[in-house]
C-alpha cells in the first residue's frame, strides 16, 4: 500500500517513482480489478508492524469489489518462522466466501 519507494531499501531496487508505479499494489489492483472479480485469489492475513497497510489493502479490495480473504491477526513477527506460513497454507486449502 506504499505510494512511493522511500523505505526498507526500496530506492535502489525501483530506481524511479515511475518504475515503482509499474509494481505498486494499490495501482495494479485498480487497473486490473475486472480480472480479479471472479473468485477470491488474494489473501491478506496477520500483521506485525504493517497492520495499517493490511487494513488499507482490505478496504481498497472491498471498494474495488475484489473478492479476497482477510484475517486480521494474529499479530506475528515479520520473520519466516513466526507461524504465518502455516496459516497461509491453511487459508489456501480451505473453502472460503469473500471477506465482508
Half-sphere exposure (Cβ direction) of 33: Cα atoms closer than 13 Å: 12
**Looking at residue 31, what is its pLDDT?**
96
**Looking at residue 88, what is its pLDDT?**
86
Residue 98: pLDDT above 60?
Answer: no
Tell me the pTM.
Answer: 0.84
**Looking at residue 95, what is its pLDDT?**
74
> How far, in Å, CA of 12 to CA of 27, rounded?
21
Task: Give the torsion through C-alpha atoms of 46, 51, 54, 60, to 10 deg.
Answer: 150
Share of the chain above pLDDT 70, in %: 95
Q: What number is the average pLDDT over the span 23-32? A: 96
The grid coordinates of residue 14 equal: 525501483
Q: How far is CA 33 from CA 5, 17, 25, 42, 65, in A?
A: 23, 22, 11, 12, 8
Amino acid at each position: 500500500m506504499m505510494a512511493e519507494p522511500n523505505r526498507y531499501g526500496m530506492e535502489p531496487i525501483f530506481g524511479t517513482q515511475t518504475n515503482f508505479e509499474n509494481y505498486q499494489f494499490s495501482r495494479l489492483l485498480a487497473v486490473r480489478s475486472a480480472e480479479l472479480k471472479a473468485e477470491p485469489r488474494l489473501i491478506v492475513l496477520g500483521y506485525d508492524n504493517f497492520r495499517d497497510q493490511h487494513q488499507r489493502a482490505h478496504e481498497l479490495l472491498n471498494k474495488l469489489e475484489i473478492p479476497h480473504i482477510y484475517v486480521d491477526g494474529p499479530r506475528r513477527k515479520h520473520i519466516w518462522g513466526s507461524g504465518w506460513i502455516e496459516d497461509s497454507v491453511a487459508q489456501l486449502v480451505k473453502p472460503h466466501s469473500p471477506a465482508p
